[in-house]
Amino acid sequence: MKKKIYLTAGYNTISMGTGRKEFNPKNSRPGIEHYIKEAGQSTIKMINGAENVDEIVISNFAASQYNNQGNLPGYAPFIDDKLRYKPSTRVEGACGSGGLALATAIKFLLSGESEVVLALGFEVQNTMKAVYGADVLATAGWWAHRKDGHAHFFPGQFSDRAGAYYEKYGKDITRKAMVKWYQNAIENARLDNTAQEFHNSDTDLEKTASIEPNKKSFVENLTVFDCSKVSDAASAIALMTEDGLKRCNISKSDAIEVVSFAQAEDDITTKPEDATKLLTTQKAVQNAFLKAGITKDEIGTVEAHDCFSIAGIMAIEALGFAEFGKGPEFVISGKTTRDGEVPFNTTGGLVGWGHPVGATGIHQAVTIWQQLTGKAKSSQIKINQNKPYGMTINMGGDDKTVTCIIFKKSE
Amino acid sequence: MNYDEKLTNISILGAAGKMGSGILLLTAVEITDLNFRKENQDKVFVLNAIDISNKALSGLIEYVRVQIRKIAEKKIIQLREMYKENLELVNNSQIIDDYIGKVLANIRTSTRMETAYNSEIIFEAVNENPELKIKLFTQIDDNSKNQPWYFTNTSSVPISYLNEKANLGGRIIGFHFYNPPAIQKLVELINSESTLPEITEFAQTYAKNLKKFVVNSNDIAGFIGNGHFMRDALFGIKMVEELQEKYGFAKSVYIVNKITQDYMIRPMGIFQLIDYVGIDVCIYIMSVMNPYFVDEEIHSELLDKLFEMNIRGGQNSDGTQKDGFFKYQKGKMTNIFDFPSNAYVNIEDVFPVEEILGQLPKKHLTWKEAIKIKENENPISEYFYNLKDTNSLGAELSIKYMKASKAIGEKLVTLNVAKTEKDVNDVMKTGFFHAYGPINNYLG
């Protein structure tokens, strides 16, 4: 990194959806303004005022369809009057939008143009029934593949990946690992009161998730427990330079530092070269490691993009924690649990915390910030001194738009 | 003429009614799906929705439009397969919208009976009035060249009676949906002695395609469903009459309703169910059944009295419940009709009934809990075991009621209305949503 970049003042709203007790599909719900304002104002308060912010990056996937709203940069001044006339930029890379917001903010800071950037991601998708929401989410794939795709397009894509994986490496062990992934996700989500699955009181998660996929009612190789839930939420975090920290009067102990970041993009018009591997994710991770000059053995915790349990398992392999085909064993042996070798998704990840598409990448960074600065409350894990680094991997579409960031607690 | 061709021209009589609208919806979806098949793509499918009121027919189309969307959303996976060749329609929403349009396009509304003259199949869902049914069948049959098949949704009138009076030569079958037809799984299929075998065969395919669960009832007035329900209701009324000297009318109604719902783990208490079906409808069904059972009095003076006071139950066209034994607000009982004041009393004023009935026995489970459990025999059996050992008025009355309900079920087999005890239990479980069948050994 040419310059030290810090992240601080992370904030997540509640991840709203069918998992929450207060959610009732028949009642009206807060709209995008509510979420944007809550997350934006909370972060601004922690950095002592909007006057400290130089510019804003907003990430969102499909407000134009879910909420009939485009031109999203215009929401910056809505958060706080002091942001009026300041630069505001919206980024979009489907489920990878949040990662793009962070990468964009980092570049703005590196360019010297700004010292403090507010990054805010949001998605409010419960405005539609799932059957129509699937149409919106499908635009994260290539349009020409939609006709032949499944009614639930993305579950269909990852069902195909899971099917290929079963065939190559064995179905039983993989399913077993997916069940374990679900268990970990829910158990972690129960420790974070903003998580969608915070209220999950199921006493036998293993049994619940151990049902057979049924292609008549859903997709061939996944069950609903393998999927992240439709979520309404916003997450915000402030990125700043050393001068920015001073301006905002933030102590370094309340911040984490970007060690490296890497983006990788694959051609949206193509199908996966090997359905059992997340090759774009692998590329982004390798570049991030290279730039950071560290190895996987120094990673203390990971926020992986488990839009589907199988994607979580494939991410483990793309990261190099397990060889290709050995991800399931890694999960089953408990290495990804909160007290395991490398705790993954400590607040539930996409399966447990929720997947408010455009906010997810930022939510991941907020979780790493909480964990590395000791602010994770009930979900706090112990960070091993020999493994001081945290990593986020945010993926848009079917392994197309990937951002990987490595962080450490600032010194 | 094969199954598909038979369905190319159907008329539903009473299409805007509670039962007719559901039958129309399911049939409209069925013919639309048939229309998608390659071999049927050149055929024109016509579904006539015939009713006396134009206003009701407009409401019907609105109802159907909303319901088809729900059906289409649920079967989106199948729809995408059906629309595979249509490259213009890509998104789920486009496919669903198109499908709704196609289903609606197959429906023709009409207030004129002449519309039915060209049909191959007549589905009758008019009032439970034998004379009206006979009049309509005769009129259509006299004017049609098709020798149409008649499907009647009657829940009580013997099919052989209708066949004979309308001179249909066996071209009629009883195809009794349960309310609401779009949701309830059960169809009671009733063959008269002369029903043509090809009609029975067709009816079975049709029921299967509509994903219905079929129970074959014998052709005796009331069939299995009303055969049980009407007698069960009469028993409840008798119990009220016994209790009312001591507790007064309103409190007795409340007590019997409560034991039939809570103690007996049913979805509704017996008087709530009478209100739901309609006091007028119950009177009508009883009057149809009564002449066929010479040893029994299937008739209630109490229901007659309420009817004369214009208390008739049933639902308003928006689905809300009309006043009957109870008054309702948002589906909840708020008042109870009382004699001799002939006025509704506040439901809170009949409390505390619990003091009279005693506590619910241990291990009680609500109906909602009971139906959620796949194999619910053990928990239900445990509960009834405790009920037997409970010393309270609630337990005493419900045991008495359970025994009566079981005897009614057994009687239906003895009378040869039902072929087996299982058929009786199946009808009560799938048509009335009971958590268990009336013919059981829970009380030992």
CA distance A368 to A389: 9
CA distance A121 to A361: 8
* C-beta separation of B149 from B171 below 8 A: yes
Q: Is residue B293 part of a domain?
A: yes
Contact (CB<8Å) B92/A129: no
Provide the pLDDT for residue A165. 98
Domain of B135, CATH number, reads 3.40.50.720
Residues of chain B with Cβ-Cβ distance to A142 below 8 Å are none
Question: Strands B332-338, B343-346: parallel, antiparallel or unpaired by DSSP?
Answer: antiparallel
CA distance B187 to B212: 6
Using one digit for the tens of pLDDT, what is the confidence trace for A117-162? 999 999 999 999 999 999 999 999 999 999 999 999 999 999 999 9
Q: Is residue B438 part of a domain?
A: no
Interface list for B 220-249 with A (CB within 8 A)? none
pLDDT at residue B278 above 80?
A: yes
Domain of B330, CATH number, reads 1.10.1040.10
Provide the pLDDT for residue B386. 94
CA distance B156 to B223: 6
Q: Are residues B322 and B389 in the same domain?
A: yes
* C-beta separation of A229 from A354 below 8 A: yes
Hey, is the C-beta of B420 within 8 angstroms of any chain A C-beta?
no
Hey, is the C-beta of B91 within 8 angstroms of any chain A C-beta?
yes
Nearest Cα neighbor of A229 from A266, A192, A198, A272 is A198
CA distance B47 to B24: 8
Domain that holds residue B103: 3-217
Provide the pLDDT for residue B318. 73
The alpha-carbon gap from B90 to the nearest alpha carbon of chain A, in Å, equals 5
Hey, is the C-beta of B81 within 8 angstroms of any chain A C-beta?
no
Q: Are residues B255 and B358 in the same domain?
A: yes
Phi-psi region of B349 (alpha: psi -120 to 50; beta: other; left: phi over 0): alpha
The alpha-carbon gap from B369 to the nearest alpha carbon of chain A, in Å, equals 16
* C-beta separation of A386 from A342 below 8 A: no
CA distance B295 to B290: 10
Out of A135, A216, A217, closest to residue B93 by CB: A135
The CA angle B302-B303-B309, to the nearest 5 degrees, is 95
Provide the pLDDT for residue B331. 84
pLDDT at residue A375 above 90?
A: yes
Residue A323 to residues A279, A288, B280, B424, Cα–Cα distance (Å)? 13, 19, 73, 60
Inter-chain Cβ pairs, chain A and chain B, closer than 8 A = 27
Q: Are residues B176 and B312 in the same domain?
A: no
How large is the average pLDDT for residues A68-78?
A: 98
pLDDT at residue B1 above 80?
A: no
Q: Residue B87: closest CA among chain A residues belongs to which residue?
A: A147
Q: Is residue B327 part of a domain?
A: yes
How large is the average pLDDT for residues B243-252?
A: 94
* C-beta separation of B418 from B223 below 8 A: no
Hey, is the C-beta of B391 within 8 angstroms of any chain A C-beta?
no
Nearest Cα neighbor of A277 from A305, A314, A308 is A314
Q: Is residue B332 part of a domain?
A: yes
Residues of chain B with Cβ-Cβ distance to A207 below 8 Å are none
Q: What is the 3-state secondary structure (H, E, C) of A336-380?
A: CCCCCCCCECCCCHHHHCCECHHHHHHHHHHHHHHHHHCCCHHHC
Q: Residue A220: closest CA among chain B residues belongs to which residue?
A: B77
Nearest Cα neighbor of A153 from A163, A171, A167, A139 is A139
Contact (CB<8Å) B77/A151: yes
Hey, is the C-beta of B183 within 8 angstroms of any chain A C-beta?
no
How many domains does chain B fold into? 2
The alpha-carbon gap from B89 to the nearest alpha carbon of chain A, in Å, equals 8
Contact (CB<8Å) B80/A150: yes
Hey, is the C-beta of A137 within 8 angstroms of any chain B C-beta?
no
Percent of chain A with pLDDT over 70: 100
* C-beta separation of B200 from B208 below 8 A: no
CA distance B431 to B61: 26
Hey, is the C-beta of A211 within 8 angstroms of any chain B C-beta?
no
Pick the last residue of a domain from B217, B248, B279.
B217
Provide the pLDDT for residue B330. 87
Q: Are residues B165 and B17 in the same domain?
A: yes
Residues of chain A with Cβ-Cβ distance to B92 below 8 Å are 131-132, 134-135, 151
Compare B354 and B173 and report the one with higher pLDDT: B173
Question: How many H-runs (helices) and E-runs (strands) does chain B carry?
Answer: 18, 11
Provide the pLDDT for residue A270. 97
pLDDT at residue A330 above 90?
A: yes
Q: Is the peptide bond before B352 cis (omega within 30 degrees of 0)?
A: yes
Residues of chain B with Cβ-Cβ distance to A224 below 8 Å are none
Question: Strands A232-240, A116-124: parallel, antiparallel or unpaired by DSSP?
Answer: antiparallel
The CA angle B327-B329-B330, to the nearest 5 degrees, is 140
Q: Residue A152: closest CA among chain B residues belongs to which residue?
A: B77
pLDDT at residue A189 above 90?
A: yes
Q: What is the side-by-side order of every strand in the sheet holding B172-177?
A: B107-110, B46-50, B9-13, B121-124, B149-152, B172-177, B186-190, B213-217
Q: Are residues B128 and B193 in the same domain?
A: yes
CA distance A301 to A293: 17
Q: Are residues B232 and B125 in the same domain?
A: no
Contact (CB<8Å) B92/A134: yes
Hey, is the C-beta of A132 within 8 angstroms of any chain B C-beta?
yes
Provide the pLDDT for residue A14. 98
Please count the other Cβ atoms lying within 10 Å of the Cβ belonging to residue B440. Answer: 17
Provide the pLDDT for residue B444. 80
pLDDT at residue A44 above 90?
A: yes
Using one digit for the tens of pLDDT, what is the confidence trace for B154-186? 999 999 999 999 999 999 999 999 988 998 999
Sign of CA dihedral B93, B94, B99, B101: positive
Q: Residue A130: closest CA among chain B residues belongs to which residue?
A: B73
Q: Are residues B212 and B231 in the same domain?
A: no
Residue B184 to residues A8, A160, B39, B179, B187, Cα–Cα distance (Å)? 57, 36, 31, 6, 8
* C-beta separation of A321 from A362 below 8 A: no
Q: Are residues B374 and B237 in the same domain?
A: yes
Count of residues for chain A?
Answer: 411
3-state secondary structure of A17: coil
* Tokens found for residue B46: 């016509």
Hey, is the C-beta of B194 within 8 angstroms of any chain A C-beta?
no
Contact (CB<8Å) B91/A151: no
The CA angle A176-A379-A313, to the nearest 5 degrees, is 25
Hey, is the C-beta of B73 within 8 angstroms of any chain A C-beta?
yes
| Intra-chain end-to-end CA distance of chain B, in Å | 53
pLDDT band at B350; cut points 50, 70, 90: confident
CA distance B316 to B328: 12
What CATH code would you report for A6-129+231-253?
Answer: 3.40.47.10
* Tokens found for residue B396: 């005493």
Token match 């601004």: residue? A44
* C-beta separation of A60 from A92 below 8 A: yes
Q: Are residues B177 and B38 in the same domain?
A: yes
CA distance A167 to B144: 61
Residues of chain A with Cβ-Cβ distance to B93 below 8 Å are 132, 135
Contact (CB<8Å) A151/B73: no
Token match 């970990």: residue? A184
Out of A132, A151, A215, closest to residue B80 by CB: A151
To test the contact with chain A by mutation, choose from B91, B98, B100 the residue with the greatest count of A C-beta atoms within 10 A, namely: B91
Provide the pLDDT for residue B320. 85
Q: Are residues B151 and B13 in the same domain?
A: yes
- The Cβ-side half-sphere exposure at A145, using a 13 Å CA radius, reads 20
Contact (CB<8Å) B77/A150: yes
Hey, is the C-beta of A151 within 8 angstroms of any chain B C-beta?
yes
Nearest Cα neighbor of A318 from A267, A383, A272, A365 is A272
Residues of chain B with Cβ-Cβ distance to A131 below 8 Å are 73, 76, 92, 96
Hey, is the C-beta of B96 within 8 angstroms of any chain A C-beta?
yes
Give the burial string for A295-308 (b: 16+ CB within 10 Å, else e): eeebbbbbbbbbbb
Nearest Cα neighbor of B20 from B134, B113, B126 is B126
Sign of CA dihedral B15, B16, B18, B22: positive
Alpha helices in B248-311 (DSSP H): 249-258, 270-277, 279-289, 301-308
The alpha-carbon gap from B80 to the nearest alpha carbon of chain A, in Å, equals 7
Q: Are residues B153 and B240 in the same domain?
A: no
Nearest Cα neighbor of A264 from A285, A291, A290, A294 is A285
Token match 């919806």: residue? B25
Pick the last residue of a domain from B191, B217, B243.
B217
Q: Is residue B109 part of a domain?
A: yes
Q: Residue B73: closest CA among chain A residues belongs to which residue?
A: A131
pLDDT at residue A341 above 80?
A: yes
Q: Residue A150: closest CA among chain B residues belongs to which residue?
A: B77
* C-beta separation of B19 from B181 below 8 A: yes
Provide the pLDDT for residue A344. 98
Token match 């998104």: residue? B91
Residues of chain B with Cβ-Cβ distance to A150 below 8 Å are 77, 80
Provide the pLDDT for residue A411. 81
Residues of chain A with Cβ-Cβ distance to B96 below 8 Å are 131
* C-beta separation of A361 from A96 below 8 A: yes
Using one digit for the tens of pLDDT, what is the confidence trace for B183-211? 899 999 999 999 999 999 999 999 999 99
Percent of chain B with pLDDT over 90: 91
Hey, is the C-beta of A21 within 8 angstroms of any chain B C-beta?
no
The CA angle A261-A265-A267, to the nearest 5 degrees, is 175
Q: Residue A151: closest CA among chain B residues belongs to which residue?
A: B77
* C-beta separation of A352 from A196 below 8 A: yes
The alpha-carbon gap from A216 to the nearest alpha carbon of chain B, in Å, equals 8
Out of B77, B79, B91, closest to residue A135 by CB: B91
Q: Are residues B55 and B32 in the same domain?
A: yes
* Tokens found for residue B151: 């499907």
pLDDT band at A77; cut points 50, 70, 90: very high
Residues of chain B with Cβ-Cβ distance to A134 below 8 Å are 92
pLDDT at residue B351 above 80?
A: no
The CA angle A82-A83-A85, to the nearest 5 degrees, is 110
To test the contact with chain B by mutation, choose from A66, A127, A128, A131 the residue with the greatest count of B C-beta atoms within 10 A, namely: A131
Sign of CA dihedral A197, A202, A203, A207: negative
Residues of chain B with Cβ-Cβ distance to A129 below 8 Å are 73
Per-chain mean pLDDT for chain B: 95
Out of A132, A215, A216, closest to residue B92 by CB: A132
* C-beta separation of A396 from A140 below 8 A: yes
- Residue A407: strand pairing partners: A258, A390
Question: Strands A299-303, A389-396: parallel, antiparallel or unpaired by DSSP?
Answer: parallel
Using one digit for the tens of pLDDT, what is the confidence trace for B82-138? 999 999 999 999 999 999 999 999 999 999 999 999 999 999 999 989 999 999 999
Hey, is the C-beta of A150 within 8 angstroms of any chain B C-beta?
yes
Pick the last residue of a domain from B152, B186, B217.
B217
CA distance A33 to A176: 41
